Structure 1
Amino acid sequence: MKKFTNTINTWAMALVAGVVLISCDKDLLETVPNDRLSVDVFWKSENDARTAVNSIYLDLDSTNIISWDAMTDIAHTNQNFNVEAYVELGSYDATSAKVYNEWRKAYRGIGASNYFLDNVDKVPSTNTALINQFRGEAKALRAYQYIKLIGLFGPVPLVTSSLTLEASRQLTNTPVEELWDFVDKELTEAAALLPAAYAASETGRMTKGAALGLLARANLYAGRFQKAAAAADLVIKSGTYSLYDSYQKLFTYAAENNREVLLDRQFIKDTYPVNVFQLLAPYSQKNSQSTFVPTKALVDLYETTEGKKITDAGSGYNPAKPYLNRDPRLKYSIYLEDDVLPSGIAFKPQPTSGTADAIGSTYIASTTGFNIKKYINNEDYGNPVNSGINIILLRYAEVLLTYAEAKIELGQVDASVYNAINAVRNGRTDVKQPDVTSGSQAALRELVRRERTVELAFEGQHLFDIRRWKTAEMVMPGPVYGITYTNAQGQLVTAEAVAVNKVFDATRHYLWPIPQKELNLTPTLRQNVNW
């Protein structure tokens, strides 16, 4: 159900309309600010509190999480004039629009949370549980933004209340460990305030499980593995969540709001849509944009159905038939040669195919010959900019892999670790990779990292993973490769994106620069090293 999303959109418009009406009345202008809702007219009821907390959800991430993967080895920004392409090529700096937009969006969400938490106690209510729930939602949503900011920028300002103009000009960088302490405390408090579930009409709100799942993610990012494992274990043992039966259908309308989803950004066709179909689908699908496309580096990570890497001796991998006998998640995540597209035609990306999707047929067609399949639904073909599919931000499979990775790093490998990994590998009816039953710490570390990469591809985790693993400098640099096909001379050829050479400078690219606009406005901020 998507009533909650519809309600958010309606109430957000009401908030804006209220401000506009105030600003149009000259008498009121003298007493009521026209850039916010004054305490003189707001914070008078529980409904005001609900309206305010609902508005914070508008700053959750959406399709931008897919762009994060395109700035790693597993995907590629298809058009070289997009701002993400400059990050891939290492030709960005503190003036980059991508860098600034991610900063601005996160702090806008933090500001909305701060404003709510600063004022919610003004609401006259005897329903303490409800007000505490709202408070928990705001805290968890604020922590969500800080997890992202720390992962992207490192030591950012910690802002926990609404700022005056003068105070905003005196912000300083908060040490990363202090930021992680704040996030840990914030999510622990939020989890204690939030319910395990809501009525169907409230689906999409932050729950106790979502707060704990974010707590597990935050501590994994921070390298606090004991805390990460403990938080993930609480989610696992809650019994609230489970893997959705079909990976193939996980990102379809039929699977929305299933028991695997802990947190998502909800959308409604016609009312509150998202353009994910147009953004990702192959060009033949009503001139969709192929904005971000998978790479050969990702495709090669999927095991064979026997559980072997394609580079292993005896794997049976055949470069002439590269998709035969592979982990089913490959074909469920990526459009491959001859797949049926939403329009009913076959996907034909080979340069000689003569189709709209042929490499080189247009600058919009995928330069790797691969397209993202997640979130591309037949129902959206008629109007590609009007999708109502929810964008998943946290799901149970990630929690299982977080638990397994944390325990492996702690050297605490037991049956629960294998159970978590194997649930992801074969806990669905359409994904049945062989069980993992043993391995050294190094071997299990490699395996769980590969599982995270293929299981969560295009879900916004890989950029943060290769940063914390400190592997970006090894996997990122170099050309971008795509499909392998047989050319007119009968030779096997691997497609290569023209004039693309990804760059990663280990001396500075593990963090983005603080946006120059922020440094100009706040001279007390310190720029990241080597920027």
Structure 2
Amino acid sequence: MMRKYIIIGVQAAMILIAFNSCKKFLDVVPDNVATIDNAFTMRTQAMKFLYTCYSFMPRNGQLGDDPAMVGGDELWEIPERGAYLDMAKGFQSKVGPLGDRWQSMYQAIRDCNIFLENIGKVPDMLPEEKSRWIAEVKFLKAYYHFCLVRMYGPIPLIRTNLPISSDVNQVKVFRDPVDSCFNYISTLLDEAAIGLPAIVISPATEAGRITLPIALSLKAKVLVTAASPLFNGNTDQSALKNSDGTQLFNTTFSQDKWDIAAIACREAIDACANVGMKLYMYNPSFQQFDVSDTIKTQLSISGAVTEKWNSEIIWANTQSNTDNLQRLISNWWDPRYLDGVVTRGELSPPLKMAELFYSSNGVPINEDKTYDYTGRYNLRVAGDADKLYIHKGYTTVGIHFDREPRFYADLGFDGAVYYGHGRYDDNDFMGLFYLEGKFKQRNGKGKYGYNTVTGYNLKKLIHFQNVVNSNTDYSVVNYPYPIMRLSDLYLLYAEALNEFEGPGEEVNKYVDLVRARAGLPKVAVAWANFSTNPVKFQNKDGMRSIIRQERLIELSFESQRLWDLRRWKESATELNKQILGWDLSQTEPISYYRTTVVYNQSFGSKDYFWPIDENYIVNNRNLVQNLGW
């Protein structure tokens, strides 16, 4: 939604509804029926309430409102600014939980219910428009429930608002079994799909509103989540029961859930194809300088996220499409280009993220039989063949050589080449810039607040046309933060299909589509020719590993890794590894490229789900706390 409508929606919520959230666990509809009735007396008033329902959308990509950005292990920051990393550092608590959404999402669900209960009263609306608005709000209601389920597990389902005549026992609701939660969300999305348009009618004014491809794609993600190990036969949660003895997790694994998920993914892919969606490829026709195929590939990878409303974006959050958000991203993640420029480069990918990406042959570096994995920390000097990635003649470490295009498109490092930003270097095309990351160099440690904490910078999410205008002025290109891209959907489909029936041509096809855009050979070709395990892709376990690594690479730094690691039950492995970087206090390569422990993370079984704030437990004894909290 356009920002002005979001503001109107928030104001409408404040005017129309007298909130009383601190008195009860879940609010009932307040006793102001006349005010609510007035909100639905005409179309213009009802539209404000529609925007109110949208206004609760979490601000994806914002450090303070998106725990998936810095709540896991993808990004680290200098200790002086460590508040955003408290969850990643293991400081979660049931007293004021970090990243808590319990109250805001239930407030959103209540407003959705108010809308659905009253929209029929509006007289000056065509039936088809009313049907569309109802569908949008049913989608939002489903999404808000999903946000709660993937955070807290089983939750109370709020199908309708409690009447104002409800007694105290009706207000004190129980948590519903997790399978019931997923079934209800899926049903809401099915109902929403009936009334949604295939595309927005007026992109100039309706960008961000819900369409059929969005609804079907979210359903696909919901059902893949429901089929994943965290929710499908998770015996670790066998003790989680309501006070009346209701089992909240079905601890018996269901293979059928993967079949249902695969069907949903296929339907979503078809819906996207029907409106012409395809993986984004950079089109350089508007540029006044020639770029190589290598750079085109990198810009295709980058632009899939940063090019607003490109052919790959299924759903993007327009509430994250603000100058302040993009400037924050750029200020914190973009390296310091010139003295005085506001960019800082403070949020840093750890070494584990650098090692995640494939070799140039498209297989993991520890599997590539041609890659010197044991010597990856040895020093090398960049030659003429490396100059598109690393400053020619620069001494850096072996792990920065012979890597896949996404490595160079997503990460910056000491000696790395950056493109864009309106800067010129001698004898090169527009925008060439080299990182210098050693002690007291331009991008190195020794200047407070202007360096990484690991030795790596984040290129991803930064539009290449952000411009350094002067030593004190830096302009940014805004774009709505992607919630779901086509590559995400393709990999969900491959995952579900592999889990249900094992590897095959259809599974490979959708992984290979993503790899082709990234400039990599097909899975079968890469593993057969370069892997120490050449038949890995031919069995379900091996293909599962390939698909998971492909997702972690393709969707890195996009608020996806935290949720994927959790649903796979891999967080206890990955988030108990050390956060490593280089020795940033050194000036010479031989000393700088020594691994250094930045932080010792810890993750226990209780951390797979957020704690419910103990205040809600005190006020409603029918609520049971998540295990371990």
Does 1:294 find its partner at 2:349? yes
Aligned equivalent of 1:208: 212
- Spell out the pairing of 1:263-342 with structure 2 (5 A cutoff): 263-266=315-318, 275-282=328-335, 286-288=341-343, 290=345, 292-312=347-367, 313-316=369-372, 318-319=376-377, 320-337=397-414, 338-340=416-418, 342=421
Shift of 1:370: 1.8
Matched letter for residue 614 of structure 2: Q
Shift of 1:336: 2.9
Aligned equivalent of 1:222: 226
Alignment match of 2:521 (pick from 428, 431, 434): 434
Matched letter for residue 220 of structure 1: V
Does 1:86 find its partner at 2:73? no
Partner secondary structure for residue 8 of structure 1: helix
Alignment match of 1:260 (pick from 312, 318, 322): 312
- Spell out the pairing of 1:17-28 with structure 2 (5 A cutoff): none
Matched letter for residue 482 of structure 1: G
Does 1:519 find its partner at 2:617? yes
Change (3 A) 1:96 1:18: closer
Check the 8 A contact 2:77/2:452 in 1, yes or no: no
Shift of 1:280: 3.4
- Spell out the pairing of 1:180-195 with structure 2 (5 A cutoff): 180-195=182-197
Aligned equivalent of 1:63: 61
Partner secondary structure for residue 294 of structure 1: coil
Aligned equivalent of 2:562: 463
Aligned equivalent of 2:74: 74
- Spell out the pairing of 1:100-249 with structure 2 (5 A cutoff): 100=100, 102-125=101-124, 127-163=126-162, 166=168, 169-199=171-201, 200-201=203-204, 202-223=206-227, 224-238=257-271, 239=273, 240=275, 241-245=277-281, 246-249=300-303
Check the 8 A contact 2:61/2:559 in 1, yes or no: no
Shift of 1:435: 0.2
Partner secondary structure for residue 481 of structure 1: strand
Change (3 A) 1:489 1:6: closer
Shift of 1:405: 0.2
Partner secondary structure for residue 264 of structure 1: strand
Inter-partner Cα distance in structure 2 for 1:447 and 1:349: 34
Identify unmatched segments of 5+ residues in structure 1: 21-32
Q: Which stretch has the larger CA shift, 153-162 or 58-67?
A: 58-67
Aligned equivalent of 2:40: 43
Alignment match of 2:50 (pick from 53, 57, 73): 53
Change (3 A) 1:422 1:173: same
Alignment match of 2:482 (pick from 392, 400, 425): 392
Change (3 A) 1:81 1:157: farther
Shift of 1:181: 0.9
Matched letter for residue 262 of structure 2: A
Inter-partner Cα distance in structure 1 for 2:159 and 2:332: 35
Aligned equivalent of 1:12: 9
Aligned equivalent of 1:24: none
Change (3 A) 1:489 1:400: closer
Check the 8 A contact 2:220/2:261 in 1, yes or no: yes
Check the 8 A contact 2:6/2:54 in 1, yes or no: no
Check the 8 A contact 1:352/1:358 in 2, yes or no: yes
Check the 8 A contact 1:153/1:513 in 2, yes or no: yes
Alignment match of 2:588 (pick from 488, 503, 522): 488
Q: Deviations over 1:185-223 (max 9, x none)?
A: 111111122111012232211111111111110111111
Inter-partner Cα distance in structure 1 for 2:323 and 2:33: 28
Q: Deviations over 1:267-318 (max 9, x none)?
A: 5556998743334334668444656431211211111121121112322564
Partner secondary structure for residue 611 of structure 2: coil
Check the 8 A contact 2:438/2:592 in 1, yes or no: no
Q: Which stretch has the larger CA shift, 468-477 or 518-527?
A: 518-527
Shift of 1:37: 8.4
Change (3 A) 1:379 1:330: same
Inter-partner Cα distance in structure 2 for 1:386 and 1:58: 25
Identify unmatched segments of 5+ residues in structure 2: 18-29, 228-256, 282-299, 378-396, 424-431, 525-536
Partner secondary structure for residue 90 of structure 1: coil
Count of residues in correspondence between the two structures: 507
Alignment match of 1:425 (pick from 505, 515, 522): 515
Matched letter for residue 61 of structure 2: T
Check the 8 A contact 2:97/2:611 in 1, yes or no: no
- Spell out the pairing of 1:329-478 with structure 2 (5 A cutoff): 329-337=406-414, 338-340=416-418, 342=421, 344=423, 346=433, 348=435, 350-355=437-442, 357-359=443-445, 361-362=447-448, 365-377=451-463, 378-379=465-466, 388-426=478-516, 428=517, 431-437=518-524, 438-478=537-577
Question: TM-score, normalization: structure 1?
Answer: 0.86
Partner secondary structure for residue 144 of structure 2: helix
Check the 8 A contact 2:259/2:496 in 1, yes or no: yes
Aligned equivalent of 1:27: none
Check the 8 A contact 2:39/2:49 in 1, yes or no: no
Check the 8 A contact 1:6/1:272 in 2, yes or no: no
Partner secondary structure for residue 513 of structure 2: helix
Change (3 A) 1:112 1:288: farther
Matched letter for residue 251 of structure 1: V
Check the 8 A contact 1:78/1:290 in 2, yes or no: no
Check the 8 A contact 2:53/2:111 in 1, yes or no: yes
The percent identity for this pair of structures is 22
Shift of 1:329: 1.3
Partner secondary structure for residue 39 of structure 1: helix
Shift of 1:95: 1.9
Change (3 A) 1:18 1:106: closer
Inter-partner Cα distance in structure 1 for 2:488 and 2:345: 26
Change (3 A) 1:487 1:479: farther
Matched letter for residue 555 of structure 2: L
Change (3 A) 1:440 1:257: same
Change (3 A) 1:19 1:155: closer
Inter-partner Cα distance in structure 1 for 2:493 and 2:109: 28
Change (3 A) 1:134 1:516: same
Shift of 1:153: 1.1
Shift of 1:501: 1.0
Change (3 A) 1:95 1:37: farther
